[in-house]
Amino acid sequence: MSKVFDGLTVIELADRRNQMVGKIMSDAGARVIQIEPTRGSPGRWVGPYLNDVQDPNKSLDYWWYNTGKESVALDITRLPGQQMLRRLIEQADVFVESTKPGTLAKYGLDYASVAPSNSKLIYASLSDFGQDGPWAQLEMNDPAHLALGGQMGVGGYSDPKETPIGGQGRQAYNAASVITTHSISIALWDRMTTDLGQYIDVAIHDCCAICTERPVSYWMWYNQPSVRQTGQHAGPVYALPIQVQAADGRYMNARFNFPNNVWPKMVEWLKELDVVGDLTSEKWNDPPTRAEAAKVGGEIEVALKALLAKVPAQEAFERAQSMGLTWGVIRAPEENLDISHFKERNFWRDIEHEDIGKTLPYPRGFYFSEGLDVSPDGRAPHLGEHTKAILTEKLGMDAAQVDMLVQTGVVR
């Protein structure tokens, strides 16, 4: 079955910010050609590496974000490199870049310079702050975005003296990449009717700033500042902790509110483990009494902590869910590999790494859908793996011309 972006050519100017955009588009069928500096994309210089040996072809982080792409190593700071990239963009459907505003204008590669020779081009800039504004030139990385954009300010521990915490895994770049790919999809939709491309300007900071849910709402509409709280939503007031340690040391996410149909089952479970205390007394059959306890703690909190201290997390998860409780285990990512549910959903896709003689299971991607098969299409490219082939195919160069460019260091 064909994929939604089959037939499209995407030129991606290598950067850690935008590589998820090209990955999604490649997974969805586009031909994605990544233009890298001759020393390799910045994404290649991020670990972890295979066997912890630093090698631009063995960054596992790069492997993940660049499945199915082709690599052209090309120095765009030099005039011949700029000319070649311009010609590649002229033939492309989509160009994705993440340079600081003004950088590509110096090379004659900004939208205004390239659009006249390709009216169908969709030119997407995914940058730290967008193309304009007082902070447009600040130096940033992903955690800096979580700090300035608001994620860090609402995440962390309930101690007001403790540092705010930003999560790992480049989630600012990932979220902004999803918005960018959505914007490209809208532009492609429009192009199906109009035959015209356009310019897209997405700022990672803007995306982060609309992504923190309630705390902005509390401040914007009710002038209520929020507090960070361990393992749960920031909010105007401290709430009862919902993160509880189970017998195997793992933490559960367990809220202490129990609907009427669940409460007797909960009492039964507490009895079985001899931690029921006085929760069998009549007053606890009253929902408002239980609801109040869910806010302030007390006997229910004590009993549940005692219960979970006796039950391993997985067992508690299954039993709680079977009773109708919305509890979960705070798992390390790799602990999902053993859960049959994801295998049943064909979530792990074998990607062959013939260069190291191994096949590795990669996450399938966001969606389980036969008709919209967005899943990895082969391993990430080696540095410059496709340089010669693409310069020949797309720019009509012969072997001697490419060799000359290699010798002069313009391509690799």
Judged by beta carbon, residue 282 or residue 354, the one nearer another protein is 354
- C-beta separation of 383 from 355 below 8 A: no
Classify 380 as helix, strand or coil. coil
**Can you spell out the DSSP letters for 20-81?**
HHHHHHHHTT-EEEEEE-TT--GGGG-S-BGGG---TT-BHHHHHHTTT-EEEEB-TTSHHH
CA 187 to CA 361: how far, in whole Å?
33
From 129-137, 285-293, 383-391, 397-405, give the range in contact with another protein by CB under 8 A.
129-137
| Nearest distance, CB of residue 68 and another protein, angstroms | 13
Judged by beta carbon, residue 107 or residue 317, the one nearer another protein is 317
Give me Rg for the CA atoms of the chain.
Answer: 26
From 290-298, 343-351, 388-396, 401-409, give the range in contact with another protein by CB under 8 A.
343-351
Judged by beta carbon, residue 67 or residue 82, the one nearer another protein is 67
Residue of 188, 293, 307, 410 that binds another protein (CB under 8 A): 188
Residue of 9, 86, 206, 301 that binds another protein (CB under 8 A): 206
69 to 128, contacts with another protein by CB under 8 A? none
From 142-150, 266-274, 279-287, 403-411, give the range in contact with another protein by CB under 8 A.
142-150
Counting contacts by CB under 8 A, is residue 345 touching another protein?
yes
From 86-94, 191-199, 298-306, 381-389, give the range in contact with another protein by CB under 8 A.
191-199
Paired tokens of 43 = 């994404």
Query: How distant, in Å, are the alpha carbons of 103, 172, 286, 330, 343 from that of 334?
Result: 40, 22, 41, 12, 13
Paired tokens of 38 = 């001759």
- C-beta separation of 147 from 166 below 8 A: yes
Judged by beta carbon, residue 307 or residue 313, the one nearer another protein is 313
Counting contacts by CB under 8 A, is residue 260 touching another protein?
no
Counting contacts by CB under 8 A, is residue 330 touching another protein?
yes
